[in-house]
Amino acid sequence: MQSTLLEKNLQLDFDWLQLRHKLKDSFVLEKLPDLNAVLLFIGIQELGKWKSNRFKKEEKQDLMHIAVCTLMTLDGYYRWDGLDTDGWPHYAQVRAFDIKGEGAQDQYLRMKSIEYFNDQWSKT
């Protein structure tokens, strides 16, 4: 059992690093994006709008929230509720998030980010 968990963690680490490299190359970034940057990319993708000027701090937080809700929708924690008058997506919580601890939550978001981008890239 211990080796299986270790193998899963190693695979997640490998897949996460691979995703970060793909995003770095796709967006021509100087350094590998961290989890917050990956969430920002997902939020922008889900919003469907790119601003020629920079997003404000509050907008970035909203975009990361959209990303987290999108990722948690994959496991039924949230459901898509529609767009507001400005065209921003809204979600409703369906059930409580049962993964506790910052490390475990980050690992969950990394895993779901990998699934999200693999799904997005398979559609192109």
Model pLDDT, residue 52: 63
Task: In whole angstroms, give the CA distance from residue 94 to residue 98.
Answer: 12
Whether 79 shows a pLDDT value over 70: the answer reads yes
Q: Give per-residue pLDDT as tens, 2-59.
A: 668 788 889 999 999 999 999 999 999 999 999 999 999 999 999 987 766 788 999 9
Compute the C-alpha angle 115/20/64, nearest 5°: 65
Average pLDDT, the chain: 92
Give the number of other CB atoms < 10 A from CB of residue 38: 23
Q: Give per-residue pLDDT as tens, 91-112.
A: 999 999 999 999 999 999 999 9
pLDDT band at 121 (very low <50, low <70, confident <90, very high): confident
Q: Give the pTM.
A: 0.90
**CA atoms within 13 A of residue 16's CA, in its CB half-sphere:** 19
Name the nearest CA neighbour of 48 among 120, 115, 122. Answer: 120
